[in-house]
Amino acid sequence: MTDPPPTAGTGSEPGRGATPRWVKVLGIIVGVLLLLAVIAMIVSGGDHGPGRHLPSGNVGGQAYLSDSAEPGVQQP
Amino acid sequence: MIMAPRLRKFALTAHVTVSVGWLGAVVCFLALAVAGLIGEDAQRVRAAYLAMEFITWFAVLPLALASLLTGVISSLGTAWGLFRHYWVLVKFLLIIFATAVLLLQVEPIGSMARVAAETSLAGTALGEMRVSLVIHSGGGLLVLLAATVLAVYKPRGRTRYGRRKQDEQRPAHAS
């Protein structure tokens, strides 16, 4: 999504050497979100890997059976 | 290397197509994740998690990688460059982040599908995992929307590297 190419005057705007305001605002937002993520990790025990939701061992084991269904048996 | 106009258009068309497709695939994934979370019919819930694995492997993941690849080609093949303008750089970082999180989620999605295939998944079984899938896909959708906004509005601002490159090219154009 990089069309059309920049015009010759794009870089000659006032305050050319400064970081644009939208970049600073975005940086603050990202910083706040990262901080919230770190806090959430600490509160939840410090582990945020994809495997934390899945207990170790047999994924399809009996521990996940929420009723009397046997593995592979269709429910009515 | 700057691409010829026809090649540039082709690369841009490919990039827009796969990027919009990625966004749509994530919307479908999110819809299934919500259906799996709040659904009361056990068969529909299981079907949702089984479908999510297929969508991930055959739509979300290929489209994400294609979007990243075509985006890099489109930016490097035009005067925009990849590191010269803040909006291009920020969008690139957003896509890298979204793709990395997606790759980390592939395994849990597969595990969830296996559990759905082998058990009834009724009630609140694996509730934390089901909520996590909704949160991650919802967050991914927001990141993709942010990238789309950047691509459309193209907010001004050159990076330090971009300003240096511009200064280097000026004498060459003047002579």
pLDDT tens per residue across span B46-63? 999 999 999 999 999 999
Is the backbone of residue A72 left (phi > 0), alpha (psi -120 to 50) or beta?
A: left
- Minimal CA separation from B156 to chain A, in Å: 7
**Cβ contact (<8 Å) for A64 and B16?**
no
A63, A55 contact by CB (below 8 A): yes
Q: Mean pLDDT: which of A16-20, A32-36, A64-68 is highest? A: A32-36
CATH class name, domain B5-163: mainly alpha
pLDDT average, residue stretch B117-122: 80
Residue length, chain B?
Answer: 175
pLDDT band at B152 (very low <50, low <70, confident <90, very high): very high
Residue from B83, B115, B120, B169 to probe the interface with A (highest A Cβ count within 10 Å): B120
Contact (Cβ atoms closer than 8 angstroms) between residue B110 and residue B117? no
* CB–CB contact B163 A6 (8 Å): no
Tokens of B143: 């990141």
The residue among A6 and A53 whose pLDDT is bigger is A6
Specify whether the CB–CB gap between B63 and B18 falls below 8 A: yes
Q: What is the pLDDT of residue B173?
A: 57
Provide the percentage of residues in chain A whose pLDDT is more than 90: 20
ipTM: 0.73
Q: How many beta-carbon contacts under 8 Å exist across A and B?
A: 108
- Pick the residue from chain B with its C-alpha nearest to A19: B157
Which residues numbered 21-60 in A keep a CB inside 8 Å of some CB on B?
A: 22-23, 26, 49-51, 53-54, 59-60
* 3-state class (DSSP) for residue B85: strand
Per-residue pLDDT of B69-100, as tens digits, reads: 999 999 999 999 999 999 999 999 999 999 99
Is it the case that residue B136 has pLDDT exceeding 50? yes
CB A54 within 8 A of CB B133: no
Flag the least confident range among A64-73, B109-118, B121-130.
A64-73
CA distance linking residue B160 with residue B149, whole number of Å: 23
Instruction: Compute the mean pLDDT over every residue in chain B, rounded to the nearest whole number.
Output: 92
**Nearest CA to B156 among A22, A27, A3?**
A22
| CA B141 – CA B131 distance, rounded (Å) | 15
Comparing alpha-carbon positions, the chain B residue that sits nearest to A53 is B129
Whole-prediction pTM:
0.80
Query: Given an 8 Å threshold on Cβ–Cβ distance, is B122 in contact with A26?
Result: no
> Judging by beta carbons within 10 Å of its beta carbon (0-12, 13-18, 19+), is residue A3 exposed, middle or buried?
middle
Q: Are B86 and B159 in contact (CB under 8 A)?
A: yes
| Contact present, B76 and B104 (Cβ < 8 Å) | no
User: Is the predicted pLDDT of residue B128 greater than 70, yes or no?
Assistant: yes
Q: CB A50: neighbour CB atoms within 10 A?
A: 18
- Is the predicted pLDDT of residue B20 greater than 90, yes or no? yes
Single-letter residue type at B63: L
Mean pLDDT for B98-108 is 95
pLDDT greater than 70 at residue B154:
yes
pLDDT of residue B51: 96
Mean pLDDT of A36-51: 75
Put simply, whether A3 touches B (Cβ < 8 Å) is: yes
How many CA atoms lie within 13 Å of B14's alpha carbon, on the beta-carbon side?
17
Q: Which residues pair with B158 in a beta bridge?
A: B85
Cβ separation B107–A1 shorter than 8 A: no
Determine, for residues B118 and A67 on separate chains, whether the beta-carbon distance falls below 8 Å. no
Q: Mutate which of B118, B124, B170 to test chain A, going by most A C-beta atoms within 10 A? A: B118
Residue A40 makes CB contacts below 8 A (sequence gap 6+) with A48
Mind giving me the DSSP string for A3-70?
-SPPPTTGGGSTTTTSPPHHHHHHHHHHHHHHHHHHHHHHHTTS---GGGGS-SS-TTSGGG--SSPP
With contacts defined as CB-CB under 8 Å, which chain B residues touch A10? 156, 158
pLDDT band at residue A42 under the 50/70/90 scheme: confident
